[in-house]
Every structure is written in C-alpha cells, then in structure tokens.
Amino acid sequence: MGELNTSIQYLSGVGPKRAELLRRELGIETLSDLIHLYPFRYIDRSGITPIAQVAPDLAHVQLQATVIKRTLYGPNSAVVSQETQPIHWGAVKRLSVIVEDASGQMEMVFFKGIRWNFQRLVPGSTFLFFGKPQAFGSRLNIVHPEVDVPQDGAMSQGALTGVYPSTEQLKTGGITGKVMCKLQSAALTLCLPEIQETLPEYILQARALVPLPYALKNIHFPKDSYALQKATYRLKFEELFFLQLSLLKQKYIRSRGERGIPMPKVGPDFHACYNALPYALTGAQQRVIKEIRADMMSGHQMNRLLQGDVGSGKTMVAVLSCLIAIGNGCQACIMAPTEVLAQQHYANIQKYLKPTSVQCALLTGSTTQKERRGIHAGLEDGSIGIIVGTHALLEDNVVFRNLGLAVIDEQHRFGVDQRAKLWAKGPLAGGHGPGGQDSSGQGRIPPHVLVMTATPIPRTLAMTLYGDLDVSVIDEMPPGRKPVQTMCIGQNRRAAMYKFMRDEIARGRQVFVVFPLIFESEKMDLQNLEQGYEEIVKAFPLPDYKVAIVHGQQTNEEKNFNMSAFAAGRAHILVSTTVIEVGVDVPNASVMVIESAQRFGLSQLHQLRGRVGRGAEKSYCILVKDVKTSKEAQQRLDLMCATEDGFEIAEQDMKMRGPGDLEGTQQSGLPISLNIASLAKDGQILTEARLYAERILDADPGLEKPQNAPLVRELRKDKYEIKDYSKIS
C-alpha cells in the first residue's frame, strides 16, 4: 500500500506549506485521505453559454470568447500605463479583460495573479472562461474566472466537474477548486493501480455494484451522469454496509458469548403491581415488556434501547422490568441524569410499588451521610430491591448484593466511562453476593441493561448510534391524553397571552414560562430570565398570583423548594430555564409558554411541550418568537404547530440540521465518520446495507469463510475500532 500511505506533501503541486494547510483545514495527510475526499456537488461544463444569454442569477456559466482589450488599474481606479517598460506591477490593483463572442461583450476581472493573467490573455486569443456572473453597475462581469485553452481545457476530464469542500485559508493558500481537481487527478494516477477491492465478488454481483477503482475514478471525474450515479451508489453502500457490519458483528459476538443472568420467572411482586394498575397498559407497552422479558429469560445479557415519546409510559415499563429482576432474586437500579428527575422517578415508583413488598431507595448528591450509610447497607444485604439515583450510584462504595438490571434514563447525558462503571457492579460469576468490585468487572456477570430515551431518534440514526443494541419503540400514547394545541405568536400578542394565562389560572390550572438564557448576553438581544421574571411578577402580582423561579444557578435546595411549590400547586406560574425540559411531571399544568422560541432546537421544543398535557384537561403550548426570526427558525416553529409526533419531528430535524447536530448525538458522535453517505438522505441505502450485513452474519457469524476474507481485512482498519457499546451502555 505504498502510494496510498504516502504523505500528501510529496504529491506534485503540494509541498510542505500546502500539505500543512490541507492537514489543518481538511484533515488530509496522505494520498489515501485525498482520494477519499469526495466532491459535494458537480458543475456541468458541457455547454457554452452565449454572452448575450448571461444573467446574474445563473450559478455558473462557461463562455468561449476572444480577448479584445485588457486594462490595468491602480489605486482609485486610475489606469496604469501599459506603455512603460517594465510595467510598475507594484502599483497595479486590478486587471480588467474585455472578451467577446458573436453575441456580445463581457468583462473578466482579476485581483490576484494579475501579472500572469495579463501576459497570458493576449488580445486576439480565444479561451474558455468559467465562473459566476455578477452585476456590477450597469454591466455584467465574472471575477476570477477559471481560464482554459479550448482544446485541452476543463472539458478534457469530462463534462461534470467536481466541487470540493474548501475554506478561505485554502483559497488564500492557492488551493482553488481547479488546483484541487489537478491534485485529485495526480493522486488517482498514482493510487488506482494499488486500490484493493474491499467487497467480495459475490456482494458486487448480488448488489450490481461497480468495482472500487471504477467508483473512485468516476466519483472524482465522472465519464457521464450514469457513471457518476453508479459510483455514488457503490461508495455509499460500501460505507453504510461496513458501518452496520462492524456494529452487528459486535452484537452477534455478544449475543452468542456474553453470559447474562437468566431470569425465567416473573414473580409475585410483578403480578401485584400489574394487577393494581388503575389503567390498562397500551398495546405498545405490552409488546415492549414482552421483548424485555424474552431478553431477560435468554441467558444472554440484555442490551436494549427503549425509545418512547414524552409521556408514552416508559417509567411504567421500567418499573415492571425491575420487578422481573426482583422476582428472580436480583436487584435493580434506575439512573437519571438530574436530581430533579431522580426524585420524580422515585416518587412515581413508590406509588407503583405500594401493592408489592419491594423496598425502594433514593441516592443523589443531596443524600445525607446518615441516609447513605443505611442505603449502602441495604444494597449490600439485598434488603433494598430498587435504587433510584444519579451519578452517585456509580461511586465505588455503592456495592450491590446482586445487581441484575440497570435502567439508564436519557442515556446520552451520561459519559461512556461513567456508564462502564456499572459493568463492574454485577454479581460474581461464581454465585450471588457482594464483594469489592474490581475495576474491570472481570469475573462478574454483567447486569441486563435497559437504556431509555424520551428524545425520539430518527430510525436511521438509531440504527447507527445504537446499531449493536436491540431497539424497542413505544409508539402509542396512553388513553385519555389529549393533544396539546400549539400556536406561534409575535411579541405584539403578549397582552392577549397574559389574559389567556389569567383565564387558565382562574380555572385552577398552572403555567410554565421558559426562557433560553439566565443572564443578559451582549450578543443576543433576548429577554433574559430575570427581566422576564420581573415582568411576569408585575403582570401577575401578589396576593392573587404566586410566581416561582427555577434556574441552573440556584442551589439544589432553592431549586427543589420552588419546583416542589409548583408541583404541589402552591405557585401558579413557574418561570424557568430549560432545567425543566426533562421529566418534570405536573399534571395540573395546562399551559407551556416558550419565550424566544426561535432560539430552541426542535427536539428541545418538543421536550418542553411534553411537560403539559399530562392531566385530563386540554393543554396549550405557546411559542413566542422575537421580531427577528430567520427563515430556518420559522420552519421549525411551523413544524411544531403542525405535528405532535416526536419521531416525525426528529426526522425533519435531521433533514434540516444533519445528524451530527442533533441534540444528544454530539457527545457520542457517529461510530465512524461518513465521507459520502448521509443518514438524513440515504435511509433506504442504510436499510438495504443493514439487511445485507445481517444476512451475511447469519450465514457466517465469525466471517471465517474464505470468500469473506476481504470483509475481515477491511474491518481490521482503525476507523472501524468502534467503542464497544455493549459494555458501556
């Protein structure tokens, strides 16, 4: 693999300076890196536009025209004499070249490379000029066109010319689009002879895929649009196929090799809780519990992602899953990202556990030393069946007698290393009983893991981020939940909104008001929380109205006091930042007001809206936008008003922003970087690639057959060294 791993600086036309620029700006260090930087769009250079038909709204034009006049300009547009020899190039600021074809004349303008272009563009000579036309005063011109001689110009590479990612620094350093095309051409000439096929022949034939060398050549320099289409599909399929194959191979290895605690029984506490429920579980909840039960019975470790929209009943599923573990002589823990959410889970779970004999405890940063001692003892002797908590559960001195199930709520808020600590808290492989945990968890049976998220994740992203987890979806709302009416208003409707809030409070309801900031930001002209709080207090004065405030700068005591006052109905309005985004449950709250709503992402808006509509009353979400709201932000607000389906919102969010920006995915990142495929646009190819990868692993789980040798060779590359999510979820 000599040429592929050659440093980019040794490629003709690069050198040390440009090599450093390519490394810094695009992460390109070797020839292999360069040929795997693909164009993000293509310009059709097959046609010639007559000058008379050029208009400023055209993206690009290609002219074939003859130079008739060239003029050098100095400062203040003074003409620099061309008669003096030598010309004073230091005084020249701009070169204007007038060109003509049979239909008319046009100007080409150069601010860089003036001397070279002046000497080249001699009157009477004919060239191809390519660039973006623009209006300058009453005439049109092209600034810095690409200039080629017709017979060996740009079209010799084919009609479609690739456009590559670029930056201002690259352009300043002389690496223009044209230079990038030349570098790619030189790199491909060197590298194509040693490109090894990554896919076995049987896959190429079954999927009708073109060979890799053909794909690489035609992605950069397409022979025609059909060749480009074939090359694009081949490279996208390969990228998504190997991504899924690497994830699924981990899952296959684990499902066959990773021992889990067998849980054949359900137990009396499960039945007691289930039979005492005041309402029937939805079909989706019942289906998910069956899936979880089958995993826990299998003798292999469960690693399941539970996706459910806000209010779909995930907590109930988690409690019943914990009771299955208890019915088999094990303990369970439920880990939440914040104290507020942990306390709320604890309060709800206590209600569900009333008909059972199970003891439940709460462990957070606020738990006193005396309480901790009792909890630690109860976990070690097994008298505490379910522990609800925050990161405090991960501390070394938290030792379980027999941890069988770990439920993690809002998974993306926990770091990978923190989650790994749960691995070491499972029971000893030789039998039950506590003991000092070794950091690796060796010699221990891992607990079953249920990861819950209330942030709906688009299907393609879930298959990628959690490709090695089994996914369950609660896609049905509990009966009796009424849809939340969502409306978007401008600042001029504030008086009407306050009247509406007063009417709702008069009917015994409560109101959330959420702001995006805590302190004034000079950069953002926003109503901040403190100003907003003062305005609300003025509009809703004592003694008729009580207003509570919650934000991240408060102590836990202050936060909990104010949150409790609102939850208990002692405050009519809760003014807050997004700390209330996750999990806060106040069934009596019927109005959610989101100030400066254009500042929030779609998934955040959806999470906030989910805080209301939890009781039997009709609920409302009012999105208050600022005067300056961008077109993109308005699209988000319109979508919020159009649908309550969290999965549809997540799909649209990914299309608008791309998968890397979705809330919760930045921390974990995609398992491998995608060079050409897009999770937002290539869902169909991803599904095909995953099904095909599953078929191959079903037939050859260890990829040991000779025909699969190319797959093993490719998977050994560093980029497929995906963190083993099975051991850290």
pLDDT of residue 465: 67
Concatenating the DSSP letter of every residue in 148-206 gives E-GGGSGGGG-SEEEE----HHHHHTT--HHHHHHHHHHHHHHHGGGPPP-S-HHHHHH
In angstroms, what CA-CA distances link 365 with 186, 377, 462? 60, 18, 32
Per-residue pLDDT at 566 exceeds 80: yes
Pull the structure tokens for residue 303.
Answer: 């690693």
Would residue 433 count as lying in a domain?
yes
pLDDT at 613: 84
Find residue 562's DSSP bridge partners: none
- Average pLDDT in the 686-691 region? 89
For residue 355, count CB atoms less than 10 angstroms from its CB and return exposed for 0-12, middle for 13-18, buried for 19 or more: middle
Q: Which residues contact 453 (CB under 8 A, 6 or more apart)?
A: 305, 306, 307, 308, 410, 411, 412, 664
pLDDT tens digits for range 37-65? 999 888 887 788 999 999 988 888 899 99
Secondary structure element (H or E) that encloses residue 236, with its range: helix 225-257
Note the maximum CA span of the chain: 104
Residue type, 380: E
Residue 240's CB is within 10 A of a number of other CB atoms, namely 28
The least confident of 182-186, 420-424, 485-489 is: 420-424
Residue tagged 């066109």 (tokens): 145
**Whether 241 contacts 697, CB under 8 Å:** no
Q: Is the dihedral of CA 69, 75, 79, 81 positive or negative?
A: negative
Residue 585 CB partners (closer than 8 Å, separation 6+): 344, 348, 567, 611, 614
Which residue from 331, 389, 328 is spatially nearest to 363, judged by alpha carbons?
389
Kindly state whether residue 208 falls inside one of the protein's structural domains.
no
- When comparing pLDDT for 396 and 35, which is higher? 35
Cis peptide before 479 (omega within 30 of 0): no
Element (H, E) at 100: strand 94-101
Residue 724: pLDDT band with limits 50, 70, 90: very low
Q: Could you tell me what percent of the chain has a pLDDT over 90?
A: 47
Q: Is the pLDDT of residue 353 over 60?
A: yes
Are residues 443 and 499 part of one domain? no
444, 511: one domain: no
Q: The domain spanning residue 136 has which CATH number?
A: 2.40.50.140
Determine, yes or no, domain membership for 17.
no
> At which of 109, 134, 157 does a domain end?
157
The tens digit of pLDDT for each residue in 275-334 reads 998 888 999 999 999 999 999 998 888 888 898 877 788 889 999 999 999 999 999 999
**CA distance linking residue 34 with residue 188, whole number of Å:** 9
Range of the domain at 381: 268-297+312-453
Confidence check: pLDDT of 463 > 90 = no
Same domain, 441 and 573: no
Distances (CA, A) of 331 to 309, 447, 714: 27, 10, 42
Closest by CA to 383, choosing from 313, 329, 424, 342, is 329
* pLDDT of 35 above 80: yes
Q: Is the same domain home to 534 and 441?
A: no
| Whether residue 512 sits in one domain with residue 411 | no
Within a domain: 465: no
* 337: Cα within 13 Å, side-chain hemisphere: 18
Reported as a single tens digit per residue, the pLDDT across 319-337 is 999 999 999 999 999 998 8
User: Based on the domain organization, do 343 and 438 belong to the same domain?
Assistant: yes
Q: Which amino acid is at 352?
A: Y
577 and 528 assigned to the same domain: yes
Q: What is the rounded distance in angstroms from the CA atom of residue 468 to the CA atom of residue 255?
A: 10
Domain end marker among 643, 662, 680? 643
CATH number at residue 623: 3.40.50.300
pTM, to two decimals: 0.63
Residue 445 shares a structural domain with residue 502:
no
Evaluate whether 33 touches 718 at the Cβ level (below 8 Å): no
**pLDDT tens-digit profile of 138-160?**
888 999 898 888 765 333 445 78
Pairing, β 61-73 against β 94-101? antiparallel
Residues 361, 442: one domain?
Answer: yes
419, part of any domain? yes
